[in-house]
Amino acid sequence: MGQINDKGRGKEGFGIVSGLEFMEPGRMFGIWQVEKFDAKVDKNIPGQLEEFWREVRSGRLKPHEILHTANVLLQTGMLEMWDLIKGTSTYHFNATDTKIGIGNDATGADPAQTDLIGASKTYIAMESGWPKTRTDDGALGWGVFQTKSTFGTGDANYAWNEAVVKNTNASSLKCLCRAATGWGTKTSAATWVATHTITLS
């Protein structure tokens, strides 16, 4: 398992009313994972992506490296979550509009940021079945929201220094989170899979 490269940040403050006791504070945090495969997957060739995932699920194809990075939730993304809960937004983070973005700017993550910063940036749609919650996959925790995208031979062949989860609906363009990753440089000889997991507990 790789090291945590970027620290998530947040502040909590609770006022304690006489006679009340908080047994355990709530937490929300995000973790990125990238799996690096020595495999060429041209997603423009029918069946190649499906064959890649068959090999991975069977155990015949394994990543040569797995890295994890902590995450910063963005102010615009958090506000969008509350607007969705209130019913004042209709721009859902669904399979149609949600993409994972990878860029090449190494600027540290900050909640005030709104998107990828780098000159090179690529947004890839969700894998079939993602985003997921426990409703979709009972193996996930009750408070989990998970996204996953596969970057094949022709995708994002540059330094992977930042990552976001973005709603690419033209009327939204809101990013939930950003991380400064430092995952190395992808080439056309490799396929990398990025997964982001938000956990509320």
What pLDDT does residue 11 have?
40
Q: Give the start-to-end residue ranges of the domains of the chain.
A: 28-200
DSSP string, 77-99: HHHHHHHHHHT-------TTTEE
List pLDDT tens digits, range 10-21: 443 434 344 545
Q: Which of 8-22, 71-85, 104-118 has the highest mean pLDDT?
A: 104-118
Answer yes or no: is pLDDT of 176 > 90. yes
Lowest mean pLDDT among 10-19, 35-44, 95-104, 128-137: 10-19
Classify 51 as helix, strand or coil.
helix
Buried b or exposed e, range 15-41, using 16+ CB within 10 angstroms? eeeeeeeeeeeeeebbbbbbbbbebeb
Q: What is the mean pLDDT of the chain?
A: 88
Answer yes or no: is pLDDT of 9 > 50. no
List pLDDT tens digits, range 32-45: 999 999 999 998 89
